[in-house]
A and B are shown apart, each in its own frame.
Chain A
Amino acid sequence: MVKEIEKTGLPVVHMCNLVPISLTVGTNRIVPTISIPYPLGDPAAPQEEQWKLRYHRVGVALDALAADVKEQTVFKVKI
């Protein structure tokens, strides 16, 4: 799916936990998430922390869409 969207020339960022799969498929912009069942918010963590993490990683994803990348890139996240 990611590839078909990118083929049209639309920049797309893949937010996923299993980075190796995304790399194997050939995705160009990747932002890691924390797990498969809850990519952007660990239910065991307080609401406040979940929000911080989600807000941060979505921000990284937006910056990735605006980043001029030359090769497959996994963007670094801080939290």
Chain B
Amino acid sequence: MRLEIGNFPVREVRFGETTAYSNGILTINKEEALKVVMEDEHITEADLVIACPGDPVRIVPVKEAIEPRVKVSGGTMFPGVTNELVPVGWGRTHALKGVDVLVVGKHWGGFQDGLIDMSGPGAKHTFYSSLKHICLVADTDEEFERYEQQKKNHALRWAGHRLAEYIATCVKDLEPETLEVYELPPITQRSPEVNALPGVVYVMQLDSQMEEDGYNALVYGWDSNHMLPTFMHPNEVLDGAIVSGSFMPCSSKFSTYCHQNNPTIKRLYQEHGKTINFLGVIMSNLNVNLEEKTRSALFVAQIAKSLGAVGAIVAEEGYGNPDVDFIKCIVALEEAGIKTVGITNECTGRDGRSQPLVALDERADALVTTGNVSELIELPPMPIVIGELEALARDGLSGGWEGCVRPDGSIIMENNAMFCGDTICGFSRKRMAEF
């Protein structure tokens, strides 16, 4: 399967008469863009606001990030979600780089939403302070969940996906500045040199712990709670087959942007044919009971073994009881003779002294960790707030609490509410150390 991603780096975003891209400048016709947003009658009000790295801006409650992209050939963007259900991961996709559509609640947040500081001491806490954001700031009439802590954020998230595609449509017929090619032939049709290299799989454990539909990460539109681990081509992940969920505490989350740009997949691609034979992705999930956790681990190990993998990376989109899925999966792979490395975050508590993962095993002897969900973060006031700051304290964000927003606008919060703060997909430079 061969996927070409044509890159259009964005140096500046501005509003103007027509939505267009030229010489690194992305211009958006706000009225036309908002029409695409308002296609969903549940959206009651919406605005677009631009925020750039270094701006004195705090954004909260952030629900989702999407890289603006359009399919030039081969499939649709977000199949089974906002577009027809067809295979992706092949053909040509055009992408606006260095920029995202950021979905922000105008008022209301929830457990799964997060915060981004674009400058100051808060900026180092998330990779997302380094992107230019086209913030879709909106509200909906989804009264059933307005005061619920857990929100599906359906209307807003889907509007973000439509908007991202609408914006990128302006580069559909243009020549990209650079072209990335992702190509992996079928496993049985690789050269003897490649086949002689150690086979490696990347196992993704998607956030899928809500039994009710509408909260979990989607695989071609299918709720990842309702699936058994399955084999996927990495290009499918990079090309919009996976849409982020709306449940996990925010710092542990993979946004849709994280999937589209997954740096671990990209690095495995770089190693392919040199040091490893990258076999592909085993798409797995995080479950709510022991039997389901065990079953998923068993399927992952079986698929990996059948593919001839001798090495694996397991990435966990979550913490707490999902650590059981994570450790079980690593142990199952190790028991199948597959050398495994895990990547996750920790929950060592505000004092740093809690057991980092709730389940442990000596066979999980190679782990990379990207943050402490309960690290306490105190930040000064920020001149500009996009969204509503009080949401952090009022709406049950996983890292906020009553009183955590002070009258002067300064805040104290747990990393839990930092938008994709731990980027377990691999962006994180942050790590853990003993003090």
Question: Do A and B touch directly, given a CB cutoff of 8 Å in the complex?
Answer: yes
Whether a CB of chain A sits under 8 angstroms from the CB of B327 is yes
Contact A35 B289 (CB under 8 A): yes
Across the interface, which residues of B come within 8 angstroms of A17, CB to CB? 288-290
User: 1/0 per position for A1-44, CB-CB distance to B under 8 A?
Assistant: 00000000000000001111100110000001011110000000
Contact B288 A20 (CB under 8 A): no
Across the interface, which residues of A come within 8 angstroms of B321, CB to CB? 18, 21, 36
Of B87-95, B181-189, B261-269, B353-361, the stretch lying at the interface with chain A is B353-361
Whether a CB of chain A sits under 8 angstroms from the CB of B402 is no
User: 1/0 per position for B343-382, CB-CB distance to A under 8 A?
Assistant: 0000000000001001110000000000000000000000
Whether a CB of chain A sits under 8 angstroms from the CB of B324 is yes
Contact B289 A20 (CB under 8 A): no
Interface residues on A, range: 10 to 19
Minimal beta-carbon separation of A54 from chain B (angstroms): 16
Contact B288 A35 (CB under 8 A): yes
Contact B288 A24 (CB under 8 A): no
Contact B324 A18 (CB under 8 A): yes
Across the interface, which residues of B come within 8 angstroms of A35, CB to CB? 288-289
Across the interface, which residues of B come within 8 angstroms of A19, CB to CB? 290
Contact A20 B211 (CB under 8 A): no
Whether a CB of chain A sits under 8 angstroms from the CB of B328 is yes
Q: Which of A20, A32, A36 contacts B327 (CB 8 A)?
A: A20
Q: Known contacts being A32-B290, A36-B288, A37-B211, is A20 close to B328, with CB within 8 Å?
A: yes
Across the interface, which residues of A come within 8 angstroms of B293, CB to CB? 18
Closest to A35 in B: B289
Contact B360 A24 (CB under 8 A): yes
Contact A24 B289 (CB under 8 A): no
Minimal beta-carbon separation of B117 from chain A (angstroms): 34
Minimal beta-carbon separation of B318 from chain A (angstroms): 13
* C-alpha spacing A73/B360, complex, angstroms: 18
Across the interface, which residues of A come within 8 angstroms of B211, CB to CB? 37
Contact A24 B290 (CB under 8 A): no
Task: Specify which of B211, B290, B293, B328 lies most central, judged by the most chain A CB atoms within 10 Å of its CB.
Answer: B290
Across the interface, which residues of A come within 8 angstroms of B288, CB to CB? 17, 35-37
* C-alpha spacing A32/B288, complex, angstroms: 14
Across the interface, which residues of B come within 8 angstroms of A36, CB to CB? 209, 288-289, 321
Across the interface, which residues of A come within 8 angstroms of B359, CB to CB? 18, 20-21, 24
* C-alpha spacing A36/B290, complex, angstroms: 9
Across the interface, which residues of A come within 8 angstroms of B328, CB to CB? 20
Closest to B290 in A: A17
* C-alpha spacing A10/B359, complex, angstroms: 25
Across the interface, which residues of A come within 8 angstroms of B360, CB to CB? 24
Contact A21 B358 (CB under 8 A): yes
Minimal beta-carbon separation of B297 from chain A (angstroms): 11
Across the interface, which residues of B come within 8 angstroms of A20, CB to CB? 290, 324, 327-328, 359
* C-alpha spacing A2/B290, complex, angstroms: 20
* C-alpha spacing A74/B359, complex, angstroms: 16
* C-alpha spacing A32/B293, complex, angstroms: 14
Across the interface, which residues of A come within 8 angstroms of B324, CB to CB? 18, 20-21
* C-alpha spacing A18/B324, complex, angstroms: 8
Minimal beta-carbon separation of B319 from chain A (angstroms): 12
Across the interface, which residues of B come within 8 angstroms of A32, CB to CB? 290
Minimal beta-carbon separation of A20 from chain B (angstroms): 5
User: 1/0 per position for B276-290, CB-CB distance to A under 8 A?
Assistant: 000000000000111
* C-alpha spacing A37/B360, complex, angstroms: 22
* C-alpha spacing A17/B324, complex, angstroms: 11
Q: Would you list the 4 A-B pairs with minimal beta carbon distance, nearest first? A: A35-B289, A36-B288, A20-B359, A21-B358
Between A and B, 27 residue pairs with Cβ closer than 8 Å are A17-B288, A17-B289, A17-B290, A18-B290, A18-B293, A18-B321, A18-B324, A18-B359, A20-B290, A20-B324, A20-B327, A20-B359, A21-B358, A21-B359, A24-B355, A24-B359, A24-B360, A25-B355, A25-B358, A32-B290, A34-B289, A35-B289, A36-B209, A36-B288, A36-B289, A36-B321, A37-B211
Residues of B with Cβ closer than 8 Å to A?
Answer: 209, 211, 288-290, 293, 321, 323-324, 327-328, 355, 358-360
Supplied contacts A18-B359, A21-B358, A24-B360, 8 more A-B pairs, CB within 8 Å? A17-B289, A18-B321, A20-B290, A20-B359, A24-B355, A24-B358, A24-B359, A35-B288
